[in-house]
Amino acid sequence: MNIGIVCYPTFGGSGVVATELAKGLANRGHNLHILSYARPARLDAFRTDITFHEVDLSSYPLFEYPPYDLALANVMVNLIKYEKLDVLHVHYAIPHATSAFLAKQILGEQGKDVAVITTLHGTDITLIGSDPSYKDVVDFSINKSDGVTAVSEYLKEETYKKFDIKKDIEVIPNFIDLDRFKRSNKGHFKKAICPEDEKVVTHVSNFREVKNVPDVISTFDRILKNGIEAKLLMVGDGPDRQRAENRCRELKICDKVRFLGKQEQVEEVLSMSDLFLIPSGSETFGLAALEAMSCGVPVVSSNIGGLPEVNIHGETGYLCELGDVESMGECSTKILKDEKLHKTMSKAARKRAEYFEMDRVVGIYEDYYNTILAQL
């Protein structure tokens, strides 16, 4: 098949999933095109079966906000026409699903055999999409897609609750490359960061408000107060980094916390981690938690959104009430104090991650494409 994948290029779940899916589909012999305004972070090596198309935004004095959705639709039209796309798979509804609809309209008869698949990832539904400034357009664009998928049961239900959707939504979960995200020996890093063999607690995110990063610091403070010798590694960057750093200063624990900024090889940090914290206020799946679990790291998370579909309470870690840093601190301490429990949870976390094995889920997407194509 000739497949176009549209995504946001930034560090963040939907772009990562879209790019890894493109690689997985290419490995199965398909010809892939990725469309975005910049090269996605995970598209790191040259491949003959994946072509990147940068959506160029010409500046013009009249355009205070250049119309990205139109430029994207234009690239889609060209690819459908000249690269003979069979499937156009857009990740994140806004504005990708709308541009895809427009491209198909422009092509008329010529575009009728292309299946437009929209994958809903999260904030396109839970936060921004349902904002009145976008809602009608998002509603329309989802309903006009030939196929719609969501990354969790939770997101599927939220979409039906928040929008007037007449289509069936197929749940296809996110996935993980078990060979890349596995525990490897990073003893030299660990020694450099924890010379006293302290426990390593880790958080990875884009530090947006929804991630509740200051709660990571407060939870870690509880762990220290419970007498655990530990270091906290904060991976990523974003608007709330300052708030998190301030919380460290208020609690006077800056010497125990390292802000590592954005990292490409997250698996290396996860490989020396003993515990992963994800206290998010909204999370449709929690890919970061799955990456940690795949590296055998137990997870303490909030019990919201799709997180309970990934992190199993009492098995792969613990789920706590949103904002309850006390309970998150106690659960974390329990795991870090008890070697046996830690080992059991670490094993269970990796086992749970195996359910989301990449090739299996890529195969589900491939079957879904065929089903939708057969219905056109």
Choosing from 156, 186, 190, 208, the residue that interacts with ligand GMT (CB under 6 A) is 208
User: For ligand GMT, which is the closer residue by CB, 31 or 126?
Assistant: 126
Q: Give yes or no for residue 294 binding ligand GMT (CB under 6 A).
A: no
Q: Which stretch binds ligand GMT (CB under 6 A): 9-17, 34-42, 158-166, 242-250?
A: 9-17
206 near ligand GMT, rule: CB under 6 A: yes
Of residues 14 and 346, the one with the C-beta less far from ligand GMT:
14
Residue 286 engages ligand GMT in binding (rule: CB under 6 A):
yes
* Residue 43 C-beta: closest distance to ligand GMT, Å: 15
Contact assessment for residue 59 and residue 80, using Cβ atoms and an 8 Å cutoff: no
Asked if 232 touches ligand GMT (CB under 6 A), the answer is no
Select 4 or 122, whichever has its Cβ closest to ligand GMT: 122
Find the shortest distance in angstroms from Cβ 359 to ligand GMT.
18
Which residue has tokens 């408000």? 209
- Given the complex with ligand GMT, which of 323 and 337 has the nearer CB atom? 323
Does residue 275 interact with ligand GMT by CB under 6 A?
no
223 versus 310: smaller Cβ distance to ligand GMT = 310
The answer to whether 284 contacts ligand GMT (rule: CB under 6 A) is yes
Quick one: tokens of 122? 């999260």
**The one among 3, 5, 6, 17 contacting ligand GMT by CB under 6 A:** 17
CB closer to ligand GMT, 198 vs 309: 309
Residues 174-203 that bind ligand GMT (CB under 6 A): 174
Q: Does 12 bind ligand GMT (CB under 6 A)?
A: yes
- Residue 122 lies near ligand GMT (rule: CB under 6 A): yes
Segment near ligand GMT (CB under 6 A), from 23-31, 122-130, 255-263, 328-336? 122-130
The sign of the dihedral angle between the CA atoms of 17, 18, 20, 24 is: positive
Query: Which residue among 210, 216, 349, 361 contacts ligand GMT (CB under 6 A)?
Result: 210
Residue from the set 283, 304, 325, 332 that interacts with ligand GMT by CB under 6 A: 283
Contact 153, 170 (CB under 8 A): no
Binders of ligand GMT among 57-76, rule CB under 6 A?
none
* Secondary structure in 3-state letters for the chain: CEEEEECCCCCCHHHHHHHHHHHHHHHCCCEEEEEECCCCCCCCCCCCCEEEEECCCCCCCCCCCCCHHHHHHHHHHHHHHHCCCCEEEEECCCCHHHHHHHHHHHHHHHHCCCEEEEEECCHHHHCCCCCCCCHHHHHHHHHHCCEEEECCHHHHHHHHHHCCCCCCEEECCCCECCCCCCCCCCHHHHHHHCCCCCEEEEEECCCCHHHCHHHHHHHHHHHHHCCCCEEEEEECCCCCHHHHHHHHHHHCCHHHEEEEECCCCHHHHHHCCCEEEECCCCCCCCHHHHHHHHCCCCEEEECCCCHHHHCCECCCEEEECCCCHHHHHHHHHHHHHCHHHHHHHHHHHHHHHHCCEHHHHHHHHHHHHHHHHHHC
Applying CB under 6 A, which of residues 121, 203, 222, 350 lies at the interface with ligand GMT?
121
- To the nearest whole angstrom, how small is the minimum distance from the Cβ of residue 341 to ligand GMT? 27
Binding site residues, ligand GMT, CB under 6 A: 12-15, 17, 92, 121-123, 126, 151, 174, 206, 208, 210, 282-287
